[in-house]
Amino acid sequence: AWMDADFRRQLSARRERVEDAFEFEGRKVGRGSYGQVFKTKPRSCADAPAGDYALKQIEGSGLSMSACREIALLRELKHPNVISLKQVYLAHETRQIWLLFDYAEHDLWRMINFHASAKKCNSQVSLPPNFTKSIMHQILCGIHYLHSNWVLHRDLKPANILVMGATSPERGRVKIADLGLARLFHQPLTPLTEIDPVVVTFWYRAPELLLGARHYTKAIDLWAIGCIMAELITDKPLFYCKQEEDIKTSSPYNRDQLERIFSVMGFPSQQDWRDLPHLPKYGDLVRNFGTGQQYARFSLGRHMSRSFGMSETSPEFRLLSRLLAMDPLRRPSAREALEDRYFLEEPRPAADVFNGFDIPYGKRDFISDSSDNKDDLARQQQSQPVHASLQQYQQSHQQALLLQQQQQQLS
Ligand SMILES: Cc1ccc(-n2nc(C(C)(C)C)cc2NC(=O)NCCN2CCOCC2)cc1
């Protein structure tokens, strides 16, 4: 071995083991193709500050390409709205890699599902008037930081927008993360469904990607942020499209997803999107949709005003329509979006997106090894979790609230 055996023994004896520093038995909160995540607390002997941490055990063993990329990328990045990597543990015996992060109790996927379910049974949840504005402001700040460092996210969706919980010193702060799945391949053309049986969702994918654009761009991230803004306002995915089971298409062209986008946005004219005819899949588009006359009367303004009573002259709508420009060249940069009037007028965005309001969401459930966590699978599909019934969801939520209250009384 290249290293003196005695020196290796010394290093090994001194190396801090993750199981010695953290308690994580039975505290798994997430699992997917990327690995698994535990909610942990440092043991008294550890030198980590008290509080909750997320321990991600990377799938596979040894320094895989993705592990290398995640560590190399995260250790360079430091911004309040981007998840921060606290520590890396290399278990030499098992060649396991563990990443330590701050723990985020909430994420937009669970939060939006909670509001959607509450709406369905007419039990309104009170939220600050600047709730959407605060979340949007922090997402754009985080993405502006990433884009300034020439880091593209490529897979922005509600599940990847984490929010710190009540017990965190950063209560109500947005942290952009990437829980994996789309991370292994960078080219937009690689069929992700080959690496993971879980169907990937196209609801947040920009139209140019669906029409064969060969490279991710910053504008692709801004489109996804527009989709997230609409979903925060309406509690429904703007471009919701049923996922055919195990789509094996290797082409990026997804007719149903494009159909959904056109039925909300209208069909892009030559004036709207000059470069459209130069996209690789333009031929398929013409074959499937012709001149798009059937979408002539559709527009985002019509959709948002008819379905959600949103005024087309409101600053909120104007920013939304800028972000959802069909032509990527017409979408604002993150900085230009942050300078939009929407963020300058009252109520101003807050550092705590809950603005001191009680946080109504339950804590993350621990998942057992036996049962596949349908929530986790649904989250990866970014499709709505299939709750056997709303009552079941409510009951489990009520139980969670009750348990939380009992725990608070005990502590
Ligand atoms: C291969 C690879 C995978 C992920 C990343 N990646 N990229 C990001 C940016 C900076 C773009 C937001 C974040 C991560 N990793 C995680 O979020 N990791 C998850 C952290 N979470 C886990 C659950 O608990 C909170 C922290 C990079 C490369």
pLDDT tens-digit series, residues 206-224: 999 999 999 999 999 999 9
Strands 106-107 and 35-42: unpaired
Instruction: State in Å: Cα 56 to ligand 1 middle.
Output: 10
SS3 (DSSP) at 85: strand
Instruction: State in Å: Cα 274 to ligand 1 middle.
Output: 36
Q: Which of 7-11, 112-116, 149-153, 221-225 has the lowest mean pLDDT?
A: 7-11
SS3 (DSSP) at 399: helix
**Taking Cα atoms as reference points, which of 373, 399, 408 lies closest to residue 32?**
373
Q: What is the pLDDT of residues 241-271, one digit of tens each?
A: 998 765 556 788 999 999 999 999 999 999 9
Residue of 31, 70, 161, 367 to test ligand 1 pocket, by largest number of atoms within 8 Å of CB: 70
Span 102-126, average pLDDT: 94
Per-residue model confidence (pLDDT) at position 183? 52
Strand segments, DSSP code E, in 92-164 are 96-102, 106-107, 161-163
pLDDT at 396 over 50: no
Bridge partners of residue 23, in order along the sequence: 41
Tokens (6 digits) for 209: 């990607």
Of the candidates 107, 155, 178, 221, the residue annotated as catalytic is 155
Closest residue to atom 26 of ligand 1, CA basis: 101
Q: Which of 17-26, 162-171, 226-235 has the lowest mean pLDDT?
A: 17-26
Per-residue model confidence (pLDDT) at position 46? 78
ipTM: 0.99
Tokens (6 digits) for 153: 């996210």
Phi, psi at residue 107, to the nearest 5°? -150, 160
139, 66 contact by CB (below 8 A): no
Atom of ligand 1 nearest to the CA of 101: 26
Q: How far apart are CA 304 and CA 300, in angstroms?
A: 6
Give Cα 143 to chain centroid, integer Å: 12
Per-residue model confidence (pLDDT) at position 197? 47
Q: Residue 398: which H helix or E strand, with range?
A: helix 390-410
DSSP H helices in 294-368: 300-308, 315-323, 334-338
Instruction: State in Å: Cα 302 to ligand 1 middle.
Output: 37
Instruction: State in Å: Cα 85 to ligand 1 middle.
Output: 9
**Taking Cα atoms as reference points, which of 309, 341, 343 lies closest to residue 139?**
343
Instruction: State in Å: Cα 205 to ligand 1 middle.
Output: 19
Mean pLDDT value across the chain:
88
Closest residue to atom 11 of ligand 1, CA basis: 153
Q: What is the pLDDT of residues 41-99, one digit of tens each?
A: 999 887 888 899 999 999 988 888 989 999 999 999 999 999 999 999 998 888 999 99
- 329-349 as b/e: b if 16+ CB within 10 A: eebbbbeebbebebbeeeeeb
Span 107-129, average pLDDT: 94
Q: Which residues line ligand 1 at a C-beta cut-off of 6 Å?
A: 30, 37, 54, 56, 66, 69-70, 73-74, 77, 82-83, 101, 104, 151, 153, 162, 176-180, 183
Give Cα 125 to chain centroid, integer Å: 22
Percent of the chain with pLDDT over 90: 71
Instruction: State in Å: Cα 54 to ligand 1 middle.
Output: 11
Q: What is the pLDDT of residues 25-35, one digit of tens each?
A: 999 999 887 89
Closest residue to atom 6 of ligand 1, CA basis: 178
262, 191 contact by CB (below 8 A): no
pLDDT at 233 over 80: yes
Q: How far apart are CA 5 and CA 94, in angstroms?
A: 18
Residue of 34, 73, 100 to test ligand 1 pocket, by largest number of atoms within 8 Å of CB: 73
Identify the residue with better confidence: 267 or 394: 267
DSSP H helices in 156-254: 207-210, 218-234
pLDDT at 175 over 70: yes
Q: What is the pLDDT of residues 282-317, one digit of tens each?
A: 999 999 999 999 999 999 999 999 999 999 999 999
Span 355-381, average pLDDT: 78
Q: How far apart are CA 71 and CA 109, in angstroms?
A: 25
Tokens (6 digits) for 191: 């069929």
Closest residue to atom 15 of ligand 1, CA basis: 178
Span 163-171, average pLDDT: 97
Percent of the chain with pLDDT over 70: 84
Angle at 54 between CA 375 and CA 116, to 5 degrees: 30
Identify the residue with better confidence: 7 or 249: 7
Per-residue model confidence (pLDDT) at position 241? 95
Span 334-347, average pLDDT: 98
| Residue 155 annotated among the catalytic residues of the structure | yes
141, 81 contact by CB (below 8 A): yes
